[in-house]
Structure 1
Amino acid sequence: MIPSSAPSRLILASSSPYRRELLERLRLPFDVMVPDIIETALPGEAPEATALRLAREKAAAVAQRAPGSIVIGSDQVATLDGEQIGKPGDHARALAQLQKMRGRKVVFHTALCVWDGRASALTGPAQLENIQTVVTFRDLPDAELDAYLRIDQPYDCAGSAKNEGLGITILERIDSSDPTALTGLPMIALTAMLRKAGVRFFGL
């Protein structure tokens, strides 16, 4: 562990407003830097492996630009029957996603990486963890799904639903060890990693 007195800069390696809002809950000063990486799965890559690799690549890319910092990277991959479900991008694709998922269970892999740029070569800079969330979607008619999408417009969300918004009304059940993982940043896992890196909370 790095001594808590060591100066450090905390950086969120993400363009996501949802992750930024979650990190703000910790009341720690942090900066935001957008990583420049290609966010696609490799041929034959398992969903969990994709999420972990991209979380690590995001953190590493920003760490190169900000040496000596603590960088947080995260990535989420949603799957139905083992098939990856990406961000829909528009209304038609989002509706098709919800129609396919209604009445079914979707697995969300939310990977987290905390990259400590102060760590020694012996301990290594990266802490990695994947949090799995199983979401059961309600079996709703097309009219309700269409109405929801037009109100919430979750076109930048894998799975086409904002659980922190009106999307909670189209979900039947959420099973996870970390309630914030589905929104994109597993806060229970993150605070454990930050503590391991020597970050203190509550001003102590």
Structure 2
Amino acid sequence: MSLVRPLRLLLLGAPGSGKGTQTSRLLKQFPLIQSLSSGDILRSQIAAGTDVGKLASSYIKNGQLVPDATMVSLISNQLEQNSWLNKETSWLLDGFPRTVEQAAALNGVLESADANLNLVVELDVDQKVILERIEARWVHLPSGRVYNLDYNPPKVPYKDDLTGDPLTKREDDTAEVFQRRLDKYNQEIVPLKEFYDRRGILSKVSGNTSDIIYPKLSQLLLDEFGH
């Protein structure tokens, strides 16, 4: 089965809820869907030393969020460069927007191109489970590939599968630090969900592992956009 009409999807979920994993599985099952990750864009801009990258890096190094206007501009420009600002192309956003202010600004850009989001899915994962995952999480920083020692371990311990580079334990990947990120997410997600619920495009899939969530997510897409 495949999609018969264009899908413009936003995945919502707490940090550590598995949005990247779900995205990878969706792209394999539905080749027509293309993905845009705000984290990947930020990393590429920073690595390239662009003006936006330098600006973003200065905020990140100080532990601050990149301003909404900068993020909206970054995402909008990328959508335009990819020629996705139309009603025929299927794509999904991962990691943006995070706040209702970002959502409203992005909505204005998409609306003017007749390319509004037509599905928003919240990945509902028990946050106690997320904290347990975080303690076991290691990352290949250059690519952003994430491993978990419990359920998605690297083939060689503490080495990236593709490059063999050593993996890194990020400073904020501890339960204490990560709880603060979850607290902030919990504050921001309510108005963001209300924003999309008012537009009639919000759904939710629940589960504590990728293997539980993914079949539900896949079926939701097929029910709404497949045949």
TM-score range, shorter chain: 0.3 to 0.5
Name the structure with the higher strand share.
1
Name the structure with the higher helix share.
2
- Kindly indicate whether structure 1 or structure 2 has the higher relative contact order, using CA contacts under 8 Å at least 6 residues apart: 2
Normalising by structure 2, what TM-score?
0.32
